[in-house]
């Protein structure tokens, strides 16, 4: 090959568009160097290609584990050709400069998500070594090397080179910097995926962020996060705010999460839609367990990030009707989630309600056809095993604050009901405890201060997000109306004064479940005894800010 030609090194796992890209490079006068499967594909396409082994004068070894890790490759990638000593060094070593590198990495993320899971050795084999080294070296030396990690950039790079008449030096520095930054984001995201996946495999989600071992403390002392921009949203919470949707690396390629859900119908999802949908889906997953075998159907209705109606029932349409009855006024323009495939009966029951978004693990064909007759209804399908939403998994939650992050674990509340304590003279019945289990699960997803009134396995009144607990009781009671009579009431934290309990009793609450723990607990217990209300302490606070 003609060593006077600019040289391109092509070594990609994702071979989308690589033949066309290489063909265009060859037409522009580039000499092509390649490795393994990429080289074979290019040769099969009739292109003239030099192997990396021809350049290094060393064979690939250990089943291809080592091929590009050689001075004859990394010298040209890192040589600063604007410096005389580097040019002389290249000449002394008889190295040919490399002007362009196309490289993307072994698909570690998809390998980590394989079902069934790969064993440890197979997963470790999907950790690329030579690729990231090449990418980082090329990006560091972007003044001399054009680096490309994304097949979507191939066409624009050919346009840049065509405008420069095939001279790599003619590609502007600003464009080189743009590609170099993309390259560093590519390798950074790759390393985050490896670190987080291996920690999850080897240690799981931590029970506590206190250091329990040298290994775990190293992880806990470093917060690693990576996500890929999926879409630009119309605006943020308000029109003057810009917004975008990013997807976690490990969620790419499947539809089992909110961000990657299959979206149909209506206009595009907004920032607020996604925020509300997250709250809706999270609560529905929390209820989609085997704790209520006789009432397996869950329906959750959310407005402005707070539930306004939640129910479990033996049929889906009953779950919807019970949830809607909790607060039909607030349900206008809401987001609704079901934990089972939506049926035609349910679709017909929802016909008169304006709904922003429906979420479910699927839709019967006749139900989908009926729902889509109305414009602007968006249907989100969350891929789920056996067409039933998977329960809420334990996970880490990150929240950015000024100058840093706060991090916590999140999961459905785990309460040992056998140790929960009735603290009043009037005893809590088993039927009330069954309602309490449901009420507490709902209450955990309502913004604090939170009060939830339930009858059986359906909410009848919800008081969300108040600065005063007694005011949250008043709101829940007002929404429940006559349905508050004989209800079970759940509070996400203790009653600091007796006034909240007195308001609950006045509204008709027959039994209360709360964490307890106030210095005035006895005052509250005394009020319950005086008013004939039973009360259970769980010792488990459920704040959500």
CA 513/CA 520 separation, integer angstroms: 16
CA 54/CA 153 separation, integer angstroms: 28
CA 450/CA 493 separation, integer angstroms: 8
Identify whether the C-beta of residue 423 lies closer than 8 Å to the C-beta of residue 535: yes
Identify whether the C-beta of residue 100 lies closer than 8 Å to the C-beta of residue 146: yes
Identify whether the C-beta of residue 103 lies closer than 8 Å to the C-beta of residue 146: no
CA 150/CA 16 separation, integer angstroms: 9
- Please, how many CA atoms are within 13 Å of residue 211, restricted to the half-sphere of its CB? 8
Judge if the upstream peptide bond of residue 48 is cis by omega within 30 degrees of 0.
Answer: no
Instruction: Kindly name the residue from 5, 58, 140, 255 that is annotated as catalytic.
Output: 140
CB pairs under 8 A, 24+ apart, for 272-277? 272/237, 273/335, 273/356, 273/357, 273/378, 274/233, 274/245, 275/237, 275/305, 276/302, 276/303, 276/304, 276/305, 276/335, 276/356, 276/357, 277/302, 277/335, 277/337, 277/357, 277/359, 277/380
65 Cβ contact partners less than 8 Å away, ≥ 6 residues apart: 129
Instruction: Kindly name the residue from 5, 43, 304, 374 that is annotated as catalytic.
Output: 304
Residue 335: strand pairing partners: 302, 357
End-to-end CA distance of the chain: 66
Catalytic site includes residue 220: no
Both tokens assigned to 142:
């972007």
Both tokens assigned to 79:
């040589």
CA 337/CA 361 separation, integer angstroms: 9
Tell me how far CA of residue 509 lies from CA of 113, 322, 388, 425, in angstroms: 48, 19, 34, 16
3-state secondary structure of 148: strand
Q: Give the residue ranges of DSSP H helices in 373-468.
A: 430-443
CA 252 to chain centroid, in Å, comes to: 10
One-character DSSP codes across 333-389:
TEEEEESBPBPHHHHHHTTTS-EEEEEES-B-HHHHHHHTTSTT-EEEE---GGGBP
Catalytic site includes residue 74: no
CA 42/CA 293 separation, integer angstroms: 58
Both tokens assigned to 509:
């609450």
Residues classed as catalytic: 140, 304
């Amino acid at each position: 090959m003609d060593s006077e030609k600019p040289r391109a090194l092509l070594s990609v796992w994702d071979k989308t568009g690589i033949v066309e890209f290489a063909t265009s490079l060859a037409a522009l006068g580039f000499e092509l160097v390649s490795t393994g499967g990429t080289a074979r594909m290019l040769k099969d396409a009739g292109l003239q290609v030099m192997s990396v082994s021809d350049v290094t004068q060393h064979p690939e070894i250990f089943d291809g584990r080592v091929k590009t890790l050689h001075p004859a490759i990394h010298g040209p990638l890192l040589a600063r050709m604007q410096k005389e000593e580097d040019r002389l060094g290249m000449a002394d070593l008889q190295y040919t400069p490399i002007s362009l590198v196309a490289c993307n990495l072994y698909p570690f993320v998809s390998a980590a998500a394989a079902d069934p899971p790969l064993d440890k050795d197979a997963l470790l084999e999907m950790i690329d070594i030579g690729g990231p080294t090449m990418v980082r070296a090329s990006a560091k030396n972007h003044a001399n090397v054009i680096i490309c990690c994304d097949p979507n950039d191939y066409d624009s790079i050919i346009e840049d080179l065509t405008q420069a008449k095939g001279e790599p030096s003619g590609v502007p520095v600003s464009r080189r910097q743009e590609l170099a930054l993309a390259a560093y984001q590519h390798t950074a995201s790759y390393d985050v995926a490896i670190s987080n996946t291996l920690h999850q495999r080897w240690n799981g989600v931590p029970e506590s962020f206190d250091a329990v071992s040298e290994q775990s403390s190293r992880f806990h002392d470093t917060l690693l996060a990576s996500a890929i921009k999926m879409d630009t949203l119309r605006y943020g919470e308000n029109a003057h705010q810009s917004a975008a949707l990013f997807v976690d690396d490990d969620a790419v390629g499947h539809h089992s999460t909110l961000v990657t859900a299959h979206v149909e119908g209506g206009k595009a999802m907004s920032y607020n839609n996604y925020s509300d949908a997250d709250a809706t889906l999270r609560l529905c997953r929390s209820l989609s367990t085997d704790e209520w075998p006789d009432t397996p159907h869950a329906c959750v209705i959310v407005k402005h990030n707070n539930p306004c109606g939640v129910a479990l029932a033996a049929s889906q349409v009953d779950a919807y009707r019970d949830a809607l009855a909790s607060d039909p006024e607030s349900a206008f323009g809401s987001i609704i989630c079901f934990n089972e495939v939506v049926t035609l009966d349910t679709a017909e029951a929802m016909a008169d309600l304006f709904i922003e978004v429906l979420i479910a693990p699927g839709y019967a064909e006749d139900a989908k056809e009926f729902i889509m007759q109305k414009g602007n209804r968006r249907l989100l399908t969350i891929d789920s095993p056996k067409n039933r939403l998977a329960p809420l998994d334990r996970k880490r939650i990150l929240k950015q604050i000024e100058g840093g992050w706060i991090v916590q674990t999140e999961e459905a509340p785990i309460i040992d009901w056998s140790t929960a304590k009735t603290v009043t003279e009037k005893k809590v019945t088993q039927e009330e405890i069954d309602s309490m289990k449901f009420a507490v699960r709902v209450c955990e997803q309502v913004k604090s201060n939170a009060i939830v009134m339930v009858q059986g396995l359906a909410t009848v009144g919800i008081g969300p997000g108040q600065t005063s607990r007694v005011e949250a009781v008043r709101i829940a009671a007002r929404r429940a109306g006559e349905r508050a009579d004989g209800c079970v009431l759940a509070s996400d934290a203790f009653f600091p004064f007796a006034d909240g309990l007195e308001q609950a009793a006045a509204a008709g609450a027959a039994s209360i479940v709360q964490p307890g723990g106030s210095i005035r607990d006895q005052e509250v217990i005394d009020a319950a005894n005086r008013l004939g209300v039973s009360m259970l302490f769980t010792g488990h606070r459920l704040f959500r800010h």
